[in-house]
Amino acid sequence: MSSGIDLSEKLSTFSEHWSPRTVAQFNNCDVMVVKVQGEFVWHKHDDTDDFFLVLKGTLDIQLRDRTITLGPGQMYVVPRGVEHRPVAREEVHVLLIEPTGTPNTGDAATAAPRRTA
Amino acid sequence: MSSGIDLSEKLSTFSEHWSPRTVAQFNNCDVMVVKVQGEFVWHKHDDTDDFFLVLKGTLDIQLRDRTITLGPGQMYVVPRGVEHRPVAREEVHVLLIEPTGTPNTGDAATAAPRRTA
């Protein structure tokens, strides 16, 4: 019998915020866990939708016209081209899925490096 | 303030087993929740990896050479072309992601219809 990928265990291996760690790959996408706290930058991805599933804590995804609030077990997909800013008042753990190589800020020049956990 | 997609709430809207409900779309993939119990059929998907994240219960994903056991917060990606059979001794709730239109049995003739929740 083998184990799968335990998301909590992967999250326990690092403490940096806004630094996604790839835990699996799926159809040329990276499945990632990330710890976030504070405000990220406003950004958009022109070529990919942006998948968020909150595992722990409460995440606000600010859009220009409203804010989506996600608790544990709640998810949202920001459509491609839509400006958004994740904001976490306290530390939040999130599952992200993005095509491999997608810059997290929407801009390769400012993006966090892609690492594995 | 708006809400995201609450996976538990979506799961509460139906009781059938092995009948995935689409809750969101992401880059031409369906994000689905499903309730499963008992043994599914052995199958494979030649053109897509198969993403499983267990939300509740314990799921065995039988492969031909071993079994992957997943509890809540654990995930596994079955690579394309790999035969597998999900088995749930008790009811299990799972998040699935597959390209839109993928037959759940790997064969359109025997697949469950794709519905939304």
Does residue A39 fall inside a structural domain?
yes
Partner residue facing B4 (CB), from A2, A3, A70? A70
DSSP result, B6-49: EHHHHHTT---BS--EEEEEETTEEEEEEEEEEE---B--SS--
* C-alpha B34 chain-centroid distance: 6
Which helix or strand (DSSP H or E) is residue B84 part of?
A: strand B84-99
pTM exceeds 0.90, yes or no: yes
The predicted model gives A12-18 an average pLDDT of: 97
Task: Report the C-alpha gap between A104 and A43 in whole angstroms.
Answer: 9
Averaged confidence pLDDT in chain A: 93
Q: Residues of A near B (CB-CB distance < 8 A)? A: 1-8, 23-27, 29, 31, 48-49, 51-55, 61, 66-70, 73-77, 95, 97, 99
**Planar angle of CA A22, A26, A30, nearest 5 degrees:** 30
A10, A21 in Cβ contact below 8 A?
A: yes
Is residue B107 assigned to a domain? no
Which amino acid, residue A55? L
Query: How much of chain A exceeds pLDDT 70, in percent?
Result: 99
Domain containing residue A81: CATH number: 2.60.120.10
Question: What is the distance in angstroms between the Cα of B61 and the nearest Cα belonging to chain A?
Answer: 9
- Overall average pLDDT of the B46-64 stretch: 96
Contacts of A54 in chain B (CB under 8 A): 4
Nearest by CB to residue B73, choosing from A7, A61, A75, is A7
> A76 and B26: CB-CB below 8 Å?
no
The token pair that represents B23 in the structure block? 């809750």
* CB distance A54 to A48 below 8 Å: no
Please check whether residue B48 lies inside any domain of the structure. yes
Of B56, B39, B49, the residue nearest B76 (C-alpha): B49
Place of tokens 């909590």: A8
Report pLDDT for A29: 93
Residue predicted with more confidence, A3 or A44? A44
Say if the Cβ atoms of B73 and A95 lie within 8 Å: no
Q: Which helix (H) or strand (E) holds A8?
A: helix A7-11
pLDDT in tens, B91-115: 999 999 999 988 888 877 778 777 8
Distance from CA of B67 to the nearest CA of A (A): 5
How many domains does one find in chain A? 1
What is the rounded average pLDDT of the residues A81-91? 97
Q: Facing residues of B61 across strands? A: B68, B86
Flag if A75 and B2 touch (Cβ within 8 Å): no
CB atoms under 10 Å from CB of A13, counted, come to 11
Q: Are strands B84-99 and B50-56 parallel, antiparallel or unpaired?
A: antiparallel
- Is B12 among the domain residues? yes
The answer to whether the beta carbons of residues A20 and A34 sit under 8 Å apart is yes
Domain for residue A54, yes or no? yes
**Of residues A5, A48, A70, nearest to B74 (C-beta):** A5
Check B77 against A26: CB less than 8 A apart: yes
Q: What was the ipTM of the complex prediction?
A: 0.91
CA distance A1 to chain B (A): 5
Is A106 inside a domain boundary? no
Q: From CA B82, how far away is CA B100, in angstroms rounded? A: 20
**How close is the nearest chain A Cα to the Cα of B99, in Å?**
9
In a domain, A105, yes or no: no
Which pLDDT value is given to residue A101? 82
Between B19-28, B66-75, B102-111, the lowest mean confidence (pLDDT) is in B102-111
pLDDT value at residue A1:
58
Q: What is the pLDDT of residues A16-63, one digit of tens each?
A: 999 999 999 999 999 999 999 999 999 999 999 999 999 999 999 999
Residue B112 placed within a domain: no
Domain span at residue B70 reads 7-102
> Is the pLDDT confidence value at B1 over 70?
no
pLDDT at A107: 79
User: CA–CA separation, B81 vs B66, rounded Å?
Assistant: 16
